Structures are given as C-alpha cells and as structure tokens.
Structure 1
Amino acid sequence: MNVLQFANVRSVLCLGAHPDDIEIGCGATLETVFPKDTEMRWVVFSGNEVRRHEAVASADCWLNDFPSSSLAMHDFEDGCFPACWRSIKRVFAELSLEYNPDVIFTHYLHDRHQDHRVLAELTWQAFRNHTILEYEIPKFEGDLGHPNVHIPIDPKRMKSKVDRLLQFHHSQASKHWFDREAFLANARLRGIECDTRYAESFHARKLVIQ
C-alpha cells in the first residue's frame, strides 16, 4: 500500500459519478496540497450534453495550474449505475492497467446515492494497493458519516471553489442543496472539527503513514 506523503505525490486520480462531484468533494484540496507538476487525471462517468459542457469548462478552469492533467468523460445513465455495473467495471479494469496513481479520490463507500456507491465499491476492487480517500457530497439522504481525514482550506480558496461551482454548474442551480450557503456550511462544520475555519474532509479506510 502506498505511504501517504502529499509532498511526494506525483499522480492523482479523481473519480466522479456526475459532473460537479469531484469539485464538490475535493476541489479545494487538489489546489491546496498537491504540487503543480502533479499529474492530475479526472474521470467523470455520466452527463448529458449540457452537463458534459459544464464538466469540460469546469475541469479546464480547475486543472489550469496542472500542466499534466486530463479529463475523461463517460456516458453511463445518471441514476442507473447498478444496472451498468459490468460495463463500469470494465472501465475500472482499463484504468487500473494504464494508470498507477499515488492517490485516488472517490465517493464515500456508504453513500446512499446508488451511482456514488457503485463507483466507491469498484474503486476498492480495482485499486487494491493504493491510497484511497473517499470524499463527501451533502444531499437529502443525510449520509455524510464521520470522516477521519481533514484538510484545512484557506477561506479565500474555499470561497473561490464555491464561486466556480456556481459559475460552471449552473444547470444544478434549481436544486435546493446546490447553493453557496450549503457548501460553505459543510466546509465550516468540517473546519470546526479540525480547529480551523474551513476544511474538506475524507474517509480513509487504510493508510500507511511514515
């Protein structure tokens, strides 16, 4: 299993079931802890035409400071990942053969959204010798759990993250949980838990620390 030393990280794989998941879950962390020469690969597994355009524009902005970066988009049906399990598993098998990241960001294993849960399960199946951090997505189901890794985030950076979420993923604006107050409130709560103003938090099931 990889040792968790962010200063030595050279490659990061970020997995999101939907456009905006990666940015919500770990967007500020990516900009805070990893060197700019880190190879950053994003894989988004669903999205209609509108959301695909949003995902590309958002990734272009987020990854602008990482010259070695890429975005891959898939078109699995939103809300139906359990029915696409075999096909999604093939994508993971290909990923695991072609890419050996130092750190992987994926969904929370006990997330109650079926698409999120499928990706989390397949992440652990495909990448068995990697550092995996599971991010959280606030939503109706109330399934955030108790994360055990906290990354303090500078207030200006956190507010910039929220600004960009609202700017690039405007198709989600009608959802009652997709607003500035909700995103900052969750980050503020996680900040309280680690004695800072704002934080992004993760579930780490297995870590080797030196």
Structure 2
Amino acid sequence: MTDVLIVVAHPDDAEIAMGMRMLDHALTGDHVRVHCLSPGAPTAEGAKLRRSECLAAGALLGVAQYTFSPIPDNEFVERRVEINRALFCVFGERRPDVVYTHFPDDQHLDHRITADEVTTVALREADNLYYFRSPYSHEFEPTEVFVGTPALLTSKAEALRCFASQKQLGMDTFLTLAAVTHRQHVHHRVVERFPAGHNYAELFRTVRNIRFAAHADPENSIS
C-alpha cells in the first residue's frame, strides 16, 4: 500500500485538480490523505461549512483522512513559519510515499506559498513529489498525464457538487477542462489509441520520482 499525501491551500483545490487521480489511488488500495492549510472561510460558521463540504467530497473519492490547519486566506506570506511547522507535523504523523501539491508558478499567492513550503518539507521527508495543475497555474508543462475513465469523471463530478458554497465559478467548468486536457498535451495520433472512453485527463509535473531496482540482490543478477 502506498501512502499518498495531498497538500492544498484551500478546500476544493485537491478535488478540482486531481479528483480522478485521488479516487484511482484509493481504488488501487493506497491510503489517501488530504491536508488543507486554510479553513477556506473567515468565520467559524463558514469554516465549518467548508469542512463539511470537503469531508463529503472526500468520502466520495476514497479519502481516508482529511485534515486542516487554521491559516487564514491571503495571509500565507506572513504565516510561512507557521505553515512550515504545520507541514512537518503533518508529514510526521504518517510519513508519505507520494506527495502532491500546487505548481509553484501560480497566479494565486496562497498556492505559490503552499507549493514552496511543501516542496521544502517533502524533499526531506518523502520519496516522491508531484505538482498538479490548478486553474491558476502559469506555463505548466506536464511530465505525467493521468487519463481517467467515465466512472472516475462521474465520481469527480459528484465530489465537486459537494462544494455548493462555491458559486463564483461553476464546477462543470472543471469537468470540461478534464475532457479537453489530454488533447492539449498529447498528439492526436496517440489519443486515437487510447482505450474506449478514456477521454478525460489530469496533469502533473514530476519533481522527484524514486525507483528502486526490481532485483537488488546481487545473487539474482544476470551474469
């Protein structure tokens, strides 16, 4: 079983960027955690609502644990030390094998700070680190294209509908993005060979991926 940790700045960031990948990890038998650095609302009542939305979405996507830090929105710059300490605690609770977080070159400052601080900790505490593309990523060039199925996309859609409080941008927009993403980054001759129904993608950029030799014992080496 692989221990997967996803660290985001705000509620719904993970589901928007990689809802299909989250569920695929869970279905594979991996332990999936999501840690959100911000409660996503300035009031206790609003934070409680955002938390309930995350937990409902996480249940649909196989998230085993959803946790939160109390960093206020738009105060990530002045709270960097607090963020760093919180992350070391999160990593220390259950050391992850794979970490996902925001791409550092992002229009949202909270996303940028999250990416920087997660990278600092993950390169010390985890084997593998990936950035995901968010709607605000700038000049993102993927090194990994995760192609989902209709069932995975349906589950992602159901999870996004849990975020009813977020009305500034319809969640269906992100489903459309998933449907065209693979054609943006994969040549049409390759897309034509995809299995039937695999028409939805989420994008990732590898920061570090450690692979161990399949046969490390010299006695099993081929002479």
Q: TM-score, normalised on structure 2?
A: 0.78
Distance 1:191 1:31, change over 3 A: same
Q: Give the structure 2 partner of residue 137 of structure 1.
A: 134
Given residue 23 of structure 2, which amino acid in structure 1 is its aligned partner? Answer: E
Which residue of the other structure, out of 149, 154, 164, is the alignment partner of 1:170? 164
Q: Give the structure 1 partner of residue 83 of structure 2.
A: 88
- Which sits farther off after the overlay, 10-19 or 28-37? 28-37
- Among all aligned residue pairs of Structure 1 and Structure 2, give the percentage whose two residues are the same amino acid: 24
Which runs of no fewer than 5 residues in structure 2 stay unpaired?
40-46, 213-223
Q: Give the structure 1 partner of residue 110 of structure 2.
A: 115
The within-5 A match list for 1:2-151 is 9-47=1-39, 48-63=47-62, 69-128=64-123, 129-139=126-136, 143=138, 145-151=140-146
Q: Is the 8 A contact 2:7 2:35 kept in 1?
A: yes
Cα distance in 2 for residues equivalent to 1:58 and 1:35: 15
- How many positions carry a matched residue from both structures? 192
- Which sits farther off after the overlay, 44-53 or 146-155? 44-53
Q: Give the structure 1 partner of residue 219 of structure 2.
A: none
- Which sits farther off after the overlay, 71-80 or 25-34? 25-34
Which runs of no fewer than 5 residues in structure 1 stay unpaired?
1-8
- Please tell me the root mean square deviation across aligned C-alpha atoms, in Å: 2.0
Given residue 87 of structure 2, which amino acid in structure 1 is its aligned partner? Answer: F
Q: Is the 8 A contact 1:13 1:103 kept in 2?
A: yes
- Alpha-carbon displacement from aligned partner over 1:12-45 (angstroms, at most 9, x marks no partner): 0011111111111111012224555322211111
Q: Give the structure 2 partner of residue 6 of structure 1.
A: none
The alpha carbon displacement at 1:122 in A equals: 0.9
Q: Is the 8 A contact 1:17 1:44 kept in 2?
A: yes
- Alpha-carbon displacement from aligned partner over 1:42-83 (angstroms, at most 9, x marks no partner): 1111122321221122223322xx6xx211112211122111
